Amino acid sequence: MKHFINLDDVSSVETLVNLGLNLKANPLQYQSLGKDLTIGLVFFNSSLRTRISTQKAALNLGMNVIVMNVGSDSWQLEFEDGVVMDQGKAEHIREAAAVLGQYCDVLGVRAFAGLTDRDEDYREVVLESFRRFAGVPVINLESATRHPCQSLADLITIEELKTKEKPKVVLTWVPHFKPLPQAVANSFTEWVLRTDYDLVITNPEGYDLAPEIRKNARVVHNQDEAFAGADFIYAKNWSSYESYGKVLTQDPSWAITPEKMALTDSGYFMHCLPVRRGLKVSDAVIDGTHSAVIQQAGNRVWSAQAALTRILESR
């Protein structure tokens, strides 16, 4: 695997999930694979899980790790070509990415959606610039429209918990007052569509994900109907794709409560975290025996380590 930017970089989801499970059982089996190599983690946005789990994964592979927060620790970067740089941005991505590629053997990059210009976000300007100019493999630590490290951890978790060959997996929109990116929901949809699970997406009208993401997935606008008999409830808020970046409703009836979970077949509650308790999910659900959120976050180490292992193997 050359890069881990989106699903196009992955030939077999099943093999990668199995590698993640295998690494979890024996974390240090490739301890010398990354010896004397350096990974640089570049953050344009905040992070708890991604920041620490990716460092841990790199350490398990014997790598050295350097972390940089863009903006506070570095210069503000320009991404547009052909501009006269007479405003606040002091350095162009063409130099910045190429220079980071001189210091690091692999780069991880987090750069969220701006949520104002849909075309710009869906062109993945930041991640694609790193792919073009860094000259080293790039790992997506959540870009404008995708979060593959999260989705791989999600599938590892479902594989660990599923009791049926073909579990019913429901991706549900939950309310939030701030516009959030579509990246987690987009990637989860794409990755689950590459499995043989039964996927249902439920969201209010106006919140359908991009057609090229949801493809032929079943979308229902009645949450109770979607939850019937579900084995996994994957909750996430996202802002509208159609009315790009807008919050169209904050309807509290879409939050995950014990009553909603009672509609499922003893389903597990999943969320990528961070999650706002009380707003998106009741304490009784997230603290309950069928909450998978901590296991899911723990599995972020094995997803990052699986991706990194494949990249180091093909250097």
Q: Which helix (H) or strand (E) covers residue 227, if one does?
A: helix 223-227
Of the residues 31, 35, 48, 166, which one makes contact with ligand CP according to CB under 6 A = 48
Half-sphere exposure of 204 (CA within 13 A, CB side): 19
Q: How far is CA 35 from the centre of its chain?
A: 27
| Terminal CA-CA length for the chain | 8
Residue recorded with tokens 């989705």:
151
Chain residues 138-177 in contact with ligand AN0, contact rule CB under 6 A: 142
Burial label, 22 (beta-carbon count in 10 A; 0-12, 13-18, 19+): middle
Q: Round to whole Å and give the CA distance between 265 and 102.
A: 52
Q: Tokens for 228?
A: 């019937």
Contacted entry of ligand CP, ligand AN0, none for residue 249, CB cut-off 5 to 8 Å set by kind = none
229 versus 274: smaller Cβ distance to ligand CP: 274
Look-up: residue for tokens 């603290």?
Answer: 287
How far from 146 is each of 62, 66, 191, 237, 314, CA to CA, in Å? Answer: 27, 23, 11, 14, 23
By CB under 6 A, name the one of 104, 139, 158, 272 that touches ligand CP: 272
Backbone angles phi, psi at 122, to 5 degrees: -75, -15
Contact partners, residue 291, CB within 8 Å, separation at least 6 = 268, 269, 285
Residue 312 site contact among ligand CP, ligand AN0, none (CB < 5 to 8 Å, cut-off depends on kind): none
Residues 260-279 close enough to bind ligand AN0 by CB under 6 A: 272, 274
Q: Is 168 helix (H, G, I), strand (E, B) or coil?
A: strand
209 binds ligand AN0 (CB under 6 A): no
Q: Which of 13, 183, 304, 311 binds ligand AN0 (CB under 6 A)?
A: 183
48: partner contacted, choices ligand CP, ligand AN0, none (Cβ within 5-8 A by kind): ligand CP
* Residue of closest CB approach to ligand CP: 50
Select from 1-9, 80-88, 122-130, 180-188 the region that touches ligand AN0 (CB under 6 A).
Answer: 180-188
CA dist 29 and 26 (Å) reads 6
Contact between 180 and ligand AN0 by CB under 6 A: the answer reads yes
Q: How far is the CB of 90 from ligand AN0 (least distance, A)?
A: 26
187 binds, among ligand CP, ligand AN0, none (CB under 5 to 8 A by kind): none
| 169 sits in which H/E element | strand 168-173
- The CB-of-111 to ligand AN0 minimum distance in angstroms stands at 11
* Interface segment toward ligand AN0; rule CB under 6 A; list 162-170, 179-187, 253-261, 280-288: 179-187
Q: Which does 180 bind (CB under 5 to 8 A by kind): ligand AN0, ligand CP, none?
A: ligand AN0
Cβ closest to ligand CP, residue 33 vs residue 156: 156
127 interacts with ligand AN0 by CB under 6 A: no
Which helix (DSSP H) or strand (DSSP E) does residue 172 occupy? strand 168-173
Q: Interface residues for ligand CP in 117-156 (CB under 6 A)?
A: 142, 150
The binding site for ligand AN0 (CB under 6 A) comprises: 142, 180-181, 183-184, 272, 274
Residues that bind ligand CP (CB under 6 A): 47-51, 142, 150, 272-274
